[in-house]
Structure formats: structure tokens, C-alpha cells
Amino acid sequence: MTRFIRYVSTHPGAMVGLALLALQIASILFAPWLTFYAPEEADPLMSLQPPSAAHWFGTDVSGMDIYTRIVYATRINLLISITAVAFAFVVGVPIGLLIGFYRNWISALVMRVFDFIQSFPVFVLGMALVSVMGQEIWNVAIVLAVLFIPMFARLIRAEVLSLRERPYVSAARCSGATDGSIMFRHILPNALTPAIVQVSISIGLAILLTAGLSFVGAGVRMPTPEWGLMVSTGAQQMILGVWWVALFPGLAIVVSVLSFALLGDMVKDLSDPTTRERQ
């Protein structure tokens, strides 16, 4: 904890990342107390009102308060992204451990399946899967998890292939340790660092993919508050000079992705042995 505090105090990027993350957590936990309207409350008489004291970020074409919808959309976007990445991590890490430790035809087959999945453009494959499964929040999370599983599995596999030939693994095998003990007690703890760093980066990527799918109409549906969907709605009015409908949700995406990118750098530095030695 002392090293963490010392690192954060000397790295402005980490401080900004934690502050932005705290802002998002506050939006998730205290949304009803931070807003003045219901997120799906439409008022046609207040359509496309510019930012004002009554509506801080203005209103959209349906008269819904943009500030309120941005705050509530934090729950949706982070719920989808964190759930998808967590599921991909839980599934991908054991798969990567197994196919890295056991080099047989099953491992080769699994790698070919991953090659097939990753041969498609991520966004196009995501659109196709969501279209087949339906435009529901949990379906979007499942689709993103399927896209991220090969990423985590490959990261762990690459580490395991390097670690399985280390002297301490050979010593454990000579002492009578089982394959399961070697994998989960000796190899996995040393192979997890790249995957842990990738978690933060993947959450930011998942937020972008979620917003992108909703933007093109293949993700979350109206009137659910979601950043990409709000940008899509506002993009149609930008040519008319109605800039606020798309601008503020777009800034919310930027802030969220930036926070997880900065946190990813922080985790990478804290897990780097050379950084620990300098501190």
C-alpha cells in the first residue's frame, strides 16, 4: 500500500486515472442523487433545448435530459464492459494455461478456433453476433466476452510456453508435484501479470465496442441510456447546429476510455520488477 501511494503521488497520470474512475463509480452508485430527471423521461415540449440552468447538457430530440442520461449510461456501459472482460478473463486464462502446458492436437485445435475468431474484424463480428442473438444488454456483454477470450488465452499461453521450461518447474516435477499443482501453484501466478494489465486496456476497448455497436444500431436499443446510442441520435442533428446532443456523450466515452488506459499504465508499472526496484 505504501508503494502504491508513493507511485500515485509521483505520477500525475495515475492520479488522473483514479480520479476519473472515482467519478464513474460515483455516477454508478449515486445517480439518483446526482440528477434531476428520470433517464427515460421524454418531454416533447423541451425537444433540443441547448445547455441551460434547467438542463445542464441540454435535451435531445425526444426532450430527455442529456446530463441525466449520461450519468445513468455509466451503469450500462461499465456493466457491459466489466462483465464481458471479467468473463473473458475467467474463461480465457484457464484455457490459455491448459493449451500452453499440454502441447497436443487438442491445443492445436483450440488455437485454430481462436485463429478463426480473430480472423474476422472485431467490430464486424460483433455486429453479426449481436444481430443473431438479439439487441439485449446481456447479449452484448456475451458477444464482447467471446471476442476477448482468445486475447487472454493467447497471452497466458505465451507466458506458459516460456515458464514451463524454467528450472523451478523441473524441480517441482522431480519432487513429485502433479501437473495440476505445477500449473496452478508454480506457473499461473508467474504468468498472470500480462493478463492483469490487459484487463484494464480491454475494459476501455469494450466501452468503445459497446458504444460503436449502439451507434450503428446493433447494440443497446432506445430508450435505454447508452453513450454510443446517444451519440448516434445526436449525430443526425449536428448538421443543423445542434452540437450538444452528440458532444457530451462523446466526451463521456473519451473520459471513460482514458481513465482505464491510464489505470492500465499504472498496473503495468506497479507489476514491473524494475519499477519495484526503483521504488
Give the mean pLDDT of 157-174.
83
Tell me the per-residue pLDDT of 78-114, one tens digit each, with 9 for 90 and over. 988 999 999 999 999 999 999 988 888 888 899 999 8
- Domain limits, the chain: 2-40+57-278
d(CA 65, CA 197): 36
Give the mean pLDDT of 46-67.
89
Per-residue pLDDT for 131 more than 80? no
Regarding predicted confidence, which is higher, 150 or 270? 150
Give the mean pLDDT of 179-198.
84
pLDDT-derived band at 183, boundaries 50, 70, 90? confident
The per-residue pLDDT for 175 is: 80
Helix (H, G, I), strand (E, B) or coil at 92: helix
Q: What dihedral do alpha carbons 57, 58, 61, 66 form, nearest 10°? A: 30
d(CA 244, CA 247): 5
Neighbours of 44 (CB within 10 A): 8
Give the mean pLDDT of 154-167.
86
Tell me the per-residue pLDDT of 57-87, one tens digit each, with 9 for 90 and over. 989 888 899 999 999 999 989 988 999 999 9
Query: In the chain, pLDDT over 70 holds for what percent of residues?
Result: 96
Radius of gyration of the CA atoms of the chain, in A: 22
The per-residue pLDDT for 277 is: 47
The per-residue pLDDT for 236 is: 80
Task: Output the nine-digit C-alpha cell for 251.
Answer: 466526451
Task: Output the nine-digit C-alpha cell for 107.
Answer: 491445443
Q: What architecture (CATH level 2) is domain 2-40+57-278?
A: Orthogonal Bundle (1.10)
d(CA 53, CA 39): 18
d(CA 86, CA 77): 14
Q: What is the pTM of this model?
A: 0.87
Is 175 within 8 Å of 228 (Cβ atoms)?
A: no
